[in-house]
Amino acid sequence: MEIKTLENIDITLSPTSKINEVDFENISFGNTFTDHMLVCDFADGKWQQPKIVPYAPITLDPSAKVFHYGQAIFEGMKAYKDDQDDVWLFRPEQNHDRFNKSAVRMCMPEVPEDIFLGGLKKLLQIEKDWVKKGQGNSLYIRPFMFASGKGVVAAPAQFYKFMILLSPAKAYYSGEVKVLIAEHYSRAANGGIGAAKAAGNYAGQFYPTKLANEKGYQQVIWTDDATHTKLEEAGTMNVFFRINDILYTAPTSERILDGITRKSLIELAKRENINVEVRSVLVDELVTAAKDGSLKEIFGAGTAAVVNPIVGFGYKEEYYELPKLENSLALELKAKLTNIQYKKADDTFGWTVKI
């Protein structure tokens, strides 16, 4: 695909840049932002003129509905720089599409492609020096929208703000990740908002994740809330399980986010003749496979970490350590996917989009 740069946009450039103050080698994820941001207001039933302005605080009425009713959604994507200094996005139309699906579920206005993708392109053109070369480096992109309309009445707002922030990121290394399988808490209901990237889905996970942290686990793998027998996904990643030589991942549903990394890995695995089956894995199955040694790998898949190998899991007060493999499918798939993203390998799928 090709993105048409949005030209009908007001631009106010920052008189100074913070770029020289940033230590790009030692940057913690999500805390440093570039010089500019994109802002577009929804008012009078339509999207107003989009603007690129210096990164700055925003001012809201204390009764704005985002504070009271959580009407807010977001996306997470990345820009990569290749050896020729060209900047690339990875399947950005998928993020735009998912953003609008989230918007519908949360009763918010959809954001048109020219603002979401065209505006992002313009913003990235301005901020291209913030995208650093080298595998692992990227510019994390955070499009989000929230209800800015006033009133402490639980009903959809009339006013919204759509924004894009950019944050430089290093290769995501989170240390050895152990996961705890949820036995009691849940992240999503049947008929709920789990498939939307809705703000409220995330805060609900903080407390059970803190309890897991206290037991020595970094993350929780959520199970279905009705029976807690089916493995679903992690907080910000879909999950793959390798039993013998088959990779399994849960089908997406109302409860599970349709991850772009997940779907890309499935296609990549198929191309590489790796056996991949989309079906629910039961907790019991996982425990049995861990005990008899057929469980080879577990890994998370998401934009931030791309692929996050997991070293073991906890369930019912037992800890199950995974074997250390020579030929990890997680690492093989990660290398194949990042090679496409950084333009080091042929993009046979047409996933990458030039800025």
Ligand X SMILES: Cc1ncc(COP(=O)(O)O)c(C=O)c1O
In the complex, minimum distance from the CB of residue 206 to ligand X, in angstroms, rounded to a whole number: 13
Task: Give the residues across from 147 on adjacent strands.
Answer: 160
Residue closer to a copy of itself by CB (options 100, 352) is 100
> Cβ atoms within 10 A of the Cβ of 226, count?
11
Hey, which residues between 63 and 102 contact ligand X (CB under 6 A)?
Answer: 76
The rounded distance, in Å, linking the Cα atoms of 234 and 181 is 9
Print the binding letters for residues 260-279 with ligand X: x by CB under 6 A, - otherwise: xxx-----------------
Hey, which residues between 121 and 150 contact a copy of itself (CB under 8 A)?
Answer: 140, 142, 144, 146-147, 150
> Taking CB under 8 A as the rule, does residue 319 contact a copy of itself?
no
Stretch that binds a copy of itself, among 25-33, 85-93, 280-288, 307-315 (CB under 8 A): 25-33
Hey, which residues between 287 and 306 contact ligand X (CB under 6 A)?
Answer: 301-303
What is the DSSP track for 99-143?
A: HHHHHHHTT-PPPPHIIIIIHHHHHHHHTGGGS--STT-EEEEEE
Query: Residue 128: which of 169, 81, 67 has the closest Cα?
Result: 81
Hey, which residues between 196 and 215 contact ligand X (CB under 6 A)?
Answer: 197
> Taking CB under 6 A as the rule, does residue 237 contact ligand X?
yes
Q: Which of 106, 145, 164, 257 binds ligand X (CB under 6 A)?
A: 257
Stretch that binds ligand X, among 10-18, 212-220, 229-237, 342-350 (CB under 6 A): 229-237
> Taking CB under 8 A as the rule, does residue 57 contact a copy of itself?
yes
55, amino acid identity? Y
Residue closer to a copy of itself by CB (options 16, 227) is 227
Residue closer to a copy of itself by CB (options 126, 274) is 126
CA distance to 71, 162, 290, 309, 332, per residue, from 243 (Å):
40, 43, 9, 15, 16
> Cβ atoms within 10 A of the Cβ of 184, count?
9
The sign of the dihedral angle between the CA atoms of 235, 354, 34, 138 is: positive
Residue closer to ligand X by CB (options 127, 233) is 233
Query: Residue 355: which of 152, 36, 121, 32 has the closest Cα?
Result: 121
Direct distance between the N- and C-terminal alpha carbons of the chain, in angstroms, rounded to an integer: 11
Q: Which of 206, 244, 278, 291 binds a copy of itself (CB under 8 A)?
A: 206
In the complex, minimum distance from the CB of residue 269 to a copy of itself, in angstroms, rounded to a whole number: 27
Query: Using CB under 6 A as the criterion, which residues of the chain lie in contact with ligand X when the complex forms?
Result: 76, 197, 233, 236-238, 257, 259-262, 301-303
